[in-house]
Amino acid sequence: MNAIQNKKVNYRDLKEAEYLSTWELQEKLLNSIIDIKLKNKHIPSDEHFLPTSNYFLFVSHPHIFTLGKNGDFQNLLINENQLKGINAQFVKTNRGGDITYHGPGQIVGYPILDLENFFTDIHKYMRYLEEVIIKTVEHYGVKGERSKGETGVWIDSGKPFARKICAMGVKASRWVTMHGFALNVNSDLKYFNYIVPCGIKNKAVTSLEKELGYKLDVEEVKQQIKNNFSEIFDVEWID
């Protein structure tokens, strides 16, 4: 028989952690899920077996610019010495999307899900992630929107002063996801001046703090994201 869908999600808040060590952890968790999936294929069809696991990581990274696997290096507007001057790093990564920035005051979420426990549709997965963030910023009175042909969540999409509040980029292997989203909460937005964010020219970046005029409680925003993720993906958290 087919494996039972497992919508239990192991939740971990890493607080503050280096990008590379977190990337390594994601790879480790993804590979552990794939190993279980491959082993399950060899179990006779009349035997019941435990389905694979799912994970969700929250983290904040030190200043770093990351470039997606198909991104354009020219979208990094400063050189190595200038990176040192602003206490930032640069790394090429294996997610989709172009270049983005991670830093303090930003909530980064990494869902490591076996989509065979949910739905095998990456486009739908991205739209669900966007909906999580749209509902989260709506809680604070900010209207988040999608922008046609552009992944992520925007404010005033389609208008001359459209600005991005949440960037997204993922990777999937054997229907297991990694990487995810970065929501600007109390971010220092000057760091986005050193890149062409997501490779999209002539569009601004914003944060909840900039839109609302005050700093937010990051832990409270995380809880809102977690609540909305639970509702939209119909998950059961394992803390």
The pLDDT tens digits for 26-38 are: 999 999 999 988 8
Tell me the two tokens of residue 2: 């087919």
Q: Are 96 and 59 in contact (CB under 8 A)?
A: no
Low-confidence ranges of the chain (pLDDT < 70): 1-3, 41-51, 199-202
Q: Is 26 helix (H, G, I), strand (E, B) or coil?
A: helix
106/66 Cα distance (integer angstroms) = 14
Please list, residue by residue across 106-118, b when 16 or more beta carbons sit within 10 angstroms of its beta carbon and e when fewer do: bbbbbbbbbbbbb
- Our answer to whether residue 198 is catalytic in this structure is yes
pLDDT score, position 66:
95
Q: Are 239 and 11 in contact (CB under 8 A)?
A: yes
pLDDT score, position 51:
61
178: part of which helix (H) or strand (E)?
A: strand 176-184
CATH superfamily ID and name for 8-234: Bira Bifunctional Protein; Domain 2 (3.30.930.10)
pLDDT score, position 41:
64
Catalytic pick among 29, 132, 195, 198? 198
The pLDDT tens digits for 149-182 are: 889 999 999 888 999 999 999 999 999 999 999 9
pLDDT score, position 37:
86
166/137 Cα distance (integer angstroms) = 10
9/70 Cα distance (integer angstroms) = 30
pLDDT score, position 168:
95
Beta bridge partners of 13: 58
76/232 Cα distance (integer angstroms) = 35
